[in-house]
Amino acid sequence: MDWTMYIYKTIFLVIILLVTLLVAMYSTYGERKVAAFMQDRLGPNRAGIFGLLQPIADGIKMFMKEEIIPLSANKKMFILGPSIAMTTALLTGVVIPWGGTLTIFGHEFPMQIADLNIGILYVFAMVSIGVYGIMLGGWASNNKYALLGSIRAASQMISYELAMGMSIIALILTTGTLSLHEIVDQQQGMHWNVFYQPLGFLIFIICAFAETNRAPFDLPECETELIGGYHTEYSSMKLGFYLFAEYVNMFISSAVIVTLYFGGYHMPFIDHIGLSGNVATLLGTFFFFIKVFFMIFLFMWVRWTLPRFRYDQLMNLGWKGLMPLAIFNILATGVFYYFTELT
């Protein structure tokens, strides 16, 4: 790697960071608009045209609020919690391929920060570290509701991580690689993995809902039972970090789903239009974001349609429903490839 590459990667990293934050910011607005639409209301419409400035107003409000650290709380851990939640949420974006390769002045710049050959596992590692943010925050608050919320969150995330990992194993059997870049390249021309692994996709997306603590799996913060769950004691921007990390997670997991199952930045019929390299790449990125936005919309759609699970139902679904299905999926995929590739 020469110096231009280092500079490019740094700039690209900052751009990805800003785009992630921007998308997460406007997801909050989108969520409220979608909710309003589903419930036949208008939603936020006071700040700016169509209420477009609402996220900024919310952000300023969050910063201006008084910051309270409860006296009985463990101060170090209380601050560490939201920091970990936010950091791990943002770190996952590093391995996602956001687009093809740009060619500027004879240099080739891939639109991916790090093409690790274990890309999927890296995502899993970050998700599994993300549990600590919620656990520590809930514990350090020294509040029963917060502790209950954080324990629920941790057990839920551990349970659904298993089924998620198993659904990924079946995907790896079909693709034969762990690198996200190669997985995307294999899906060129509508060979999307969702057609080869429909069951795996279903398990993966259900687990993604559970991992991001979104409804119908939002038991860690369910208001009717636990006040606010793990962030009951939080105020000001630390609360903002927790809420924001959820939206960042939603965006990143949508991007991961699109990358793994919906062909990433490949769009159908791109070869027939006959565009030059750079334009096609940028168009691919644009198409990638359209897919991601649809996925985010799906997240919201589900949230405002389905009621919340009960806790035992949640655990039953994870361990007795999704786990056996995922194992069956691995077995079926393995048998299929064993008999088709021997010939």
Partner 1 sequence: MAFLFYMLSAIMIISALFVVFSKNPVDSVIYLIICFIGMAGQYILLNAQFLAVVHVIVYTGAIMVLFLFVIMLLNLNKEIIVRKSKVTRISAVITGGIFFLVMVAATRQVIEIHPRYPFSGTVGLVSEVGKTLFHEFLLPFEISSVLFISAMIGAVMFGKKDEVKNFKS
Shortest Å, Cβ 125 to partner 1: 4
Query: Nearest distance from residue 248's CB to partner 1, in Å?
Result: 19
Structure-token pair, residue 97: 């391929």
Minimum CB–partner distance for residue 72 and partner 1 (Å): 11
User: Of 155 and 278, which CB lies nearer to partner 1 in the complex structure?
Assistant: 155
Cis peptide before 44 (omega within 30 of 0): no
Residue 25 or 136 having the CB closest to partner 1: 136
Q: Which of 16, 14, 7, 5 is nearest to 107 (CA)?
A: 5
The CB-of-133 to partner 1 minimum distance in angstroms stands at 12
Q: Which is nearer to partner 1, 67 or 115 (CB)?
A: 115
Instruction: Please say which residue, 194 or 208, places its beta carbon nearer to partner 1.
Output: 208
- At residue 227's C-alpha, the angle toward residues 42 and 318, to 5°, is 90
Q: Judged by CB, which is closer to partner 1: 158, or 290? A: 158
Supply the minimum distance, in Å, between the C-beta of residue 54 and partner 1.
36
Q: How far apart are CA 258 and CA 291, in angstroms?
A: 7
CB of 147 to partner 1, least distance (A): 7
Task: Name the residue type at position 337.
Answer: Y
Q: Nearer to partner 1 by C-beta: 132 or 297?
A: 132
Q: How far is the CB of 127 from partner 1 (least distance, A)?
A: 8
- Joined together, the tokens standing for residue 174 give 């079909």
Contact between 177 and 260 (Cβ < 8 Å): no
Q: Confirm if 269 and 196 have CB atoms less than 8 A apart.
A: no
Rounded Cα gap, residues 295 and 250, in angstroms: 9
The set of residues, in sequence order, having a beta carbon less than 8 Å from that of 324 and lying 6+ positions away, is none
User: CA 292, CA 286: separation in Å to the nearest integer?
Assistant: 10
Token pair for 91: 């770190």
| CB 66, min distance to partner 1, A | 27
Distance separating alpha carbons of residues 343 and 341, to the nearest angstrom: 5
Nearer to partner 1, 128 or 236 (CB): 128
Binding site for partner 1 (CB under 8 A): 74, 76-77, 80, 116-118, 121-122, 124-125, 127-129, 131-132, 135-136, 139, 147, 150-151, 154, 158, 161, 178
45 or 142, CB closer to partner 1? 142
**Degrees to nearest 5, angle at CA 87 with 64 and 246:** 70
Identify the burial level of 217 via C-beta atoms within 10 angstroms of its C-beta, where 0-12 means exposed, 13-18 middle and 19 or more buried: buried
